[in-house]
Amino acid sequence: MSMSHKLFLEAQKYLPGGVNSPVRAWRAVGGDPLFIQRGRGCRVIDADGQEYIDYVGSWGPLIVGHAHSQVVRALGETLKRGTSFGAPTPREIELAKILVEAVPSLEKVRLTSSGTEAAMTALRLARGYTGRTKIIKFAGCYHGHSDALLVRAGSGALTFSTPDSAGVPEAFASQTLVAEYNDLASVEVYLKAEPAAIAAVIVEPIPGNMGLVLPKPDFLAGLRSLTRAYGVVLIFDEVISGFRVARGGAQEIYGIDPDLTCLGKVIGGGLPLAAVGGKRAIMDLLSPLGPVYQAGTLSGNPLAVTAGIETLKLMGSPGAYARLNELGSLMAEGLRAAIQDSGIVACVNQLGSMFTVFFGVDQVQDYATATRSDTQLFARYFQGMIDRGIYLPPSQFETAFISLVHGEAEIEETLAAAKQVFLSLRS
């Protein structure tokens, strides 16, 4: 019996499902989850001492790899001075300045401890600013687990085929309208029907929670035009894409100026940290300046802020994003070639250091096409890769991540494993 299996049996006695976040339980791929005891660079080692090339990266934050010496050293120095004070600290300002200078649409930011909090706060701000109540989200886009947003969500909800959650009052869900990603007409229908009721449109500009899906040309620009025409707040949820696809996120790549932006993952460097930011006129509605209340005991705590600052400093080095793009393209091209050689039906979506292999479909551009994927085939792929020392997200509907410390050797090893697994899937 493996140590991971023993630990999972014990965990189930004390933790619901044996985990603290659903996808970690491996229900979608079968078998017992690996319990990770340490990470270094682009590799993780499980409780049995087995080593894997890691493409989970703590679900995106570890863009400079595990236990980077500069981040660890800075955290050690910060730890000596204290972990949290519940009071302002100078480094909060330092991080806020980095965010405002890097992300084109930000004029002010409020730090939170999770992406869920950031998205929840963004919606509250939009409602406070407009005096309206309804919001539009997109099928398959995940914005955290607050009540109003667990309606046809992606990620874990999609993995378990339960896109809505028990415990969410119908009255809350009724304020959330669900449009189709990459379909502007589905948004415009709502706006025309209730022009005085809709406060915000919230979107992952590059969805990562139904697997990686890319926006069609002019989709995001069209959203910006529609929301301006109807006086609706446009919220970009860049918890995944922010500082991952570019220093200024998706809005830098596509040249869009949203009203509010949610950030997370990379900006905390692996520690719990997120932010909501945007136009001064909206952000200044937050308490203590305005009537929109938000608070958090550990928001902007010194450890998380330090990890974020050091990570963003490292990502500011010349060529960092060009290198990630190079590695991502190498991975995607190799996977597509291996798929073609194997004769299986699958496609690869990739942007920068993010990629997803979808099985049983030849194109994925929205929730409907993502959900046509062959999840059983994905499970076989996942287990085959694990057996060959490659640690991927344990769900068809999650995005894999490459870090700056992955190299050509790791990509080649991964592609060699994938070729073997793809061939085995034909039987």
Instruction: State the catalytic residues.
Output: 142, 237, 265
Place of tokens 């981040």: 71
Place of tokens 């090893």: 413
CA distance 58 to 284: 33
Give the bridge partners for 238, in sequence order: 263
CA distance 39 to 37: 7
Instruction: Tally Cβ neighbours within 10 Å of residue 223.
Output: 24
What is each CA distance from 136 to 141, 244, 387, 417, in whole angstroms? 11, 25, 42, 41
CA distance 151 to 168: 9
32 neighbors 26 (Cβ within 8 angstroms): yes
What is each CA distance from 299 to 83, 87, 100, 236, 305, in whole angstroms? 12, 10, 17, 21, 9
Q: What are 189's two structure tokens?
A: 């229908």
99 neighbors 275 (Cβ within 8 angstroms): yes
CA distance 179 to 152: 10
Helix (H, G, I), strand (E, B) or coil at 402: coil
**Residue from 4, 9, 6 nearest 47 by CA:** 4
332 neighbors 354 (Cβ within 8 angstroms): no
Give the strands of the sheet with 51-54, arranged side by side: 36-40, 43-46, 51-54, 390-391
CA distance 322 to 55: 19
